[in-house]
Amino acid sequence: MTSQYNFKKIVIVPTAKDFIDIVLSKTQRKTPTVVHKQYKISRIRQFYMRKVKFSQQTFHDKLSTILTDFPKLDDIHPFYADLMNVLYDKDHYKLALGQINIALHLIDNVSKDYVRLLKYGDSLYRCKQLKKAALGRMATIMKRQAQSLQYLEQVRQHLSRLPSIDPNTRTLLICGFPNVGKSSFINKITRADVEVQPYAFTTKSLFVGHTDHRYLRWQVVDTPGILDHPLEDRNTIEMQAIAALAHLRAAILYVMDISEQCGHTIEQQVALFESIKPLFANKPLLVVLNKTDVIRLEELNPEQKALIQGFINDDIPVMEMSTFSEEGVMNVKTEACERLLSHRIEVKIKSKKVEGILNRLHVALPKPRDGCTRPAFVPEKVIEKRLEKGPKIKKKTERDLEVELEDDYSLDLKKNYDLPADFKYDVIPEFWEGKNIADYIDPDIMAKLEELEREEELRVESGVYEKEEEEMDDEEKEIHRLAGKIREKKAIIAIEGRIGRSGGAPVMPRAGRKRERSVSRLRSEFEELGVDMSNKSGAHFSRTKSRSASRPPIKKARADSAGRVSSSSRVTPRDQSGIRNVELKAKAKKMGHKAQGKMNQFGKAGEADRHIAVKMPRHLYSGKRGIGKTDRR
Amino acid sequence: MPQNEHIELFQKRYGFRMDYQERQRKKKAREHKLQSKMAQKLIGIKGKIFAKKRYSEKVQLKRTIKAHEEKKTRKKEDGKVPEGAMPAYLLDRENTSQAKLLSSMVKQKRKEKAGKWDVPLPKVRAQSEAEVFRVLKTGKSRRKGWKRLVTKVCFVGEGFTRKPPKYERFVRPMALRFKKAHVTHPELKATFCLPIVGVKKNPSSPMYTSLGVITKGTIIEVNVSELGLVTQGGKVVWGKYAQVTNNPENDGCINAILLV
């Protein structure tokens, strides 16, 4: 039971032909499609049984959603039940839904029978024929429901367009003869755009609009006009109005046309009022006389006035209004709302729920503890000071000026400018002689600029901006110097590296190069850097061993003062250069071999070769694990 | 909120777009292109369904065109009646006389005695035992093969109880037992769902008749009290013969023609 009655969520009801198409194509798409006659018979049977069952399920689902979505006339508010009866005929509606229900059960039975038969199908042909017969039967059942489905689709479309009237909230209901001005009234007080035309029965169904009063939302329901004849003769349109009058607990506004432009005299309107009076029981009632711009109540002749007086005598309030000139419309609305509100409060007070609300409405005032009063405390000095200041001069604000001048007031921000009167209202340009005016807004700006510059000079002179130099001791100085040297050398090396070996010049083979790594070179370079190389007799780099006896004495080598051998075609081979003795050489060789072994085993091209031929070798990633160690996963 | 006929109201107040009529016209004019495109592009089951629908539409189109053309041509009405013959509207419908009735009754009795009937399906394919029965293997090791399962639709009477399972040779499964048949009256062209009374004769073998196996061409007796037929003498006819016209095991239902 939603408070907002909304029938827009009903599923679309397809026509019989479309229904069958949808279900059969769904069966074809969602079930397996291939079967051969050489399959096992159980497999063939299962294939066809699945199709029959699937179709049955789909039909069942779709039909049951239709049955559940359509509202049951016994479950909804009696207002809507009555309205639907008036519009769609309760019997027809129930019959249509009943037929759909029967179709549902028939389809279920067909499916059951044929699945039972399929169990005894012994060839593909037979199973296929049985499945065809089953689906055909279901389709025939649906074809017979074409009428019901069509009717239900029309009902659904009309239902979705019904206005959502909440039967339990505050409602104003407008009724009366056709053409008296009900729709004009609702157009005036709400945003509902009901059509207003001079012919009778312009409004053919209920319309709802919403308005506000006292911070609450009020529903206003406009009804089609009612004519004065007995209930049996009423047509569908009038019956909707009667249904609304009968079931909605609302304030009734009975609208009358005292100018008789609607085509009915005041006597007839009063007669209609009397005939539908039973429907107004227990509802706050208001008689509204419309079209007073044409003729006023006082201008009526005495008989008609007497009829109106009859209302007043019966304690029914009578109000005048004119929807054309809009006089009295708001008063009518306010009066109706107030009456309904007080009526609803009365009803609530009489009901049981009132205690819960009354508790919440109670305002508690604290009981005074003793008799002495406790006013606010203001020190005396403060009071004296206030008096000294004198009375507050109330400045005249712009608002006051606005209230005073009313229509002639315009906001003038330039009137308080500090300029002589003839310059105040001038328009200020943006540029003047190539300069921005905004830069020169200040008249003393040049003087200020000069002062600033002077200040700045003073600051520079006094040394505010000079950085404090730290005192370094000798060590730090030395470090700084060396660091500078190192940086320089590094830069040179980098540049040399970038330049390369004078691009493309042939390189001498290693054997032909001059001896690079000699003791004399070592000595000279280290001396350059400042290391003391004088007494390094026991150092490793000096020749500790003399020439071995096995070696024949070579020609006296011409060495210069630095100890550099000038002609030496025999350069030490690579596996001996840099190694002190034979054991070390053997060790170095062994280490070299060992490092290469692993690479060779895996077929690597070198140290940096990280290529993996088979990322997931099957023997590692497949198979079950036996009872073995499982500490690696 | 939009209520009741808000769409029509809007159209009444504000009308349509300036190019609305033109667009509708053009859309309609383009429809044949869409149809031809679909006819070319759709394949598979959708294509077949579309082709069938299209074919029926075309047939209708051709019919209407032909009807229109017929209107244009005027044919001379040929209502000549040969000399001396009675005009058609004066002819009686049933012209059977008493004598004819008696002789037909006698002939029927003779035919019944002889067993010769004039049936709608005179020749039916004979069903071999291998088709009708399937061997059911029983026993602890499933070696004994003397039981047979009937694979065709059959009729068992109302008071039917199975023989004790140890002794029953022919098993007639419940799923294949039918009690009703869809019987068509050949002259009225109406079909009724009538209860079966019994199987009169199965053309393939008398054994099938005794078992109650119903195949195509079987003569069955149906309860026609629903139709309310009355004999000449005033007695109510309640049983008539009908011949089965379909393969009930393939269709899941028994369709028969009443033998009048």
Domain ranges within chain B, ordered by starting residue: 1-41, 129-258
Tell me the pLDDT of chain B (260 aa) as tens digits: 788 889 999 999 999 999 999 999 999 999 999 999 999 999 888 898 899 999 999 999 999 999 888 877 666 666 666 677 777 677 666 555 666 777 788 887 887 776 666 788 888 899 999 999 999 999 899 999 999 999 999 999 999 999 998 899 999 999 999 999 999 999 889 999 999 999 999 999 999 999 999 999 999 999 999 888 888 888 898 999 999 999 999 999 999 999 98
End residue of a domain, out of A113, A134, A160: A160
- How many domains does the structure of chain A reveal? 2
Residue A330, domain member (yes or no):
yes
Q: Which residue has the higher pLDDT, B88 or A256?
A: A256
Does an H or E element contain A591, and which? helix A582-601
CATH code of residue A258 = 3.40.50.300
- The mean pLDDT of A65-74, rounded to a whole number, is 93
B249 touching A (Cβ < 8 Å): yes
Count of A-B CB contacts under 8 Å? 54
Closest CA to A182 of A307, A308, A300, A291: A291
Q: A171-176 and A251-257 as β-strands: parallel, antiparallel, unpaired?
A: parallel
When mean pLDDT is compared across A130-139, A154-163, A541-550, B227-236, the lowest value belongs to A541-550
**pLDDT digits 0-9 by tens, A14-31:** 999 999 999 999 999 999
Partners of residue A129 in chain B, C-beta under 8 Å: 247, 250-251
Residue A468, domain member (yes or no):
no
- Whether residues A219 and A82 fall in one domain: no
3-class DSSP state of B255:
strand
Compute the distance between CA of residue B119 and CA of residue B116 in angstroms, rounded to an integer. 9
- Whether residues A210 and A125 fall in one domain: no
B9 touching A (Cβ < 8 Å): yes
- Whether residues A85 and A178 fall in one domain: no
Taking CB atoms and an 8 Å limit, are A161 and B134 in contact across chains?
A: no
pLDDT at A294: 87
**pLDDT digits 0-9 by tens, A387-442:** 888 777 778 888 888 888 888 888 888 888 888 888 888 888 889 888 888 877 78
- Whether residues A141 and A181 fall in one domain: no
How many angstroms separate the CA of residue A42 from the nearest CA in chain B? 15
Closest residue, chain A, to B7 (C-alpha): A161
Residue A517, domain member (yes or no):
no
Compute the distance between CA of residue B41 and CA of residue A97 in angstroms, rounded to an integer. 40
B96 touching A (Cβ < 8 Å): no
| Chain centroid to CA B193 | 11
- Whether residues A198 and A344 fall in one domain: yes
3-class DSSP state of A187:
helix
Residues of A with CB under 8 A from a CB of B: 21, 25, 28, 113-114, 116-117, 119-122, 125-126, 129-130, 133-134, 161-164, 192-193, 195, 204-205, 207-208
Partners of residue A114 in chain B, C-beta under 8 Å: 252
End residue of a domain, out of A160, A194, A226: A160
Residue A402, domain member (yes or no):
no
3-class DSSP state of B145:
strand
**How many beta carbons lie within 10 A of that of residue B20, not counting itself?**
11
A71 is in which domain, residue-wise? Answer: 7-160
pLDDT at B101: 74
- Whether residues A89 and A212 fall in one domain: no
Closest CA to B172 of B184, B186, B162, B159: B162
**pLDDT of A47 above 60:** yes
Sign of the Cα torsion A462, A463, A468, A473 reads negative
When mean pLDDT is compared across A332-336, A553-557, A588-592, the lowest value belongs to A553-557
**pLDDT of A3 above 50:** no
- Closest partner residue to B45 among A28, A134, A208, by Cβ? A28
Residue of B216, B250, B254 to mutate for A, most A C-beta atoms under 10 A: B250
How many angstroms separate the CA of residue A162 from the nearest CA in chain B? 6
Sign of the Cα torsion A527, A530, A531, A536 reads positive
B44 touching A (Cβ < 8 Å): no
CATH code of residue A81 = 1.20.120.1190
- Whether residues A220 and A78 fall in one domain: no
**How many beta carbons lie within 10 A of that of residue A601, not counting itself?**
8
Taking CB atoms and an 8 Å limit, are A133 and B251 in contact across chains?
A: yes
Tokens of B47: 């294509």
Can you give the pTM of this predicted structure? 0.64
**pLDDT digits 0-9 by tens, A4-13:** 466 888 999 9
Partners of residue B173 in chain A, C-beta under 8 Å: 120
Taking CB atoms and an 8 Å limit, are B3 and A207 in contact across chains?
A: yes
Taking CB atoms and an 8 Å limit, are B251 and A130 in contact across chains?
A: yes
Q: Please check whether residue A213 is in contact with residue A337, taking contact to mean a CB–CB distance below 8 angstroms.
A: yes
B43 touching A (Cβ < 8 Å): no
| Ordered alpha helix ranges (H), chain B | 6-14, 20-41, 44-72, 98-114, 129-132, 206-211, 248-251
Measured distance between the N- and C-terminal CA atoms of chain B, rounded to whole angstroms: 68
- Mutual angle of helices A78-88 and A90-118, in 10-degree steps: 90
- Closest partner residue to A195 among B1, B9, B249, by Cβ? B9
Looking at CATH, the fold of the domain delimited by B129-258 is given as Thrombin, subunit H (2.40.10)
- Whether residues A205 and A336 fall in one domain: yes
Taking CB atoms and an 8 Å limit, are B3 and A208 in contact across chains?
A: yes
Residue A60, domain member (yes or no):
yes
Q: Which residue has the higher pLDDT, A510 or B38?
A: B38
**pLDDT digits 0-9 by tens, A132-151:** 999 999 999 999 999 999 99
Partners of residue B1 in chain A, C-beta under 8 Å: 163-164, 208
- Whether residues A191 and A70 fall in one domain: no
Backbone angles phi, psi at B79, to 5 degrees: -110, 35
Residue A156, domain member (yes or no):
yes
- Whether residues A151 and A197 fall in one domain: no
- Whether residues A243 and A326 fall in one domain: yes
Backbone angles phi, psi at B34, to 5 degrees: -60, -45
- Whether residues A112 and A203 fall in one domain: no
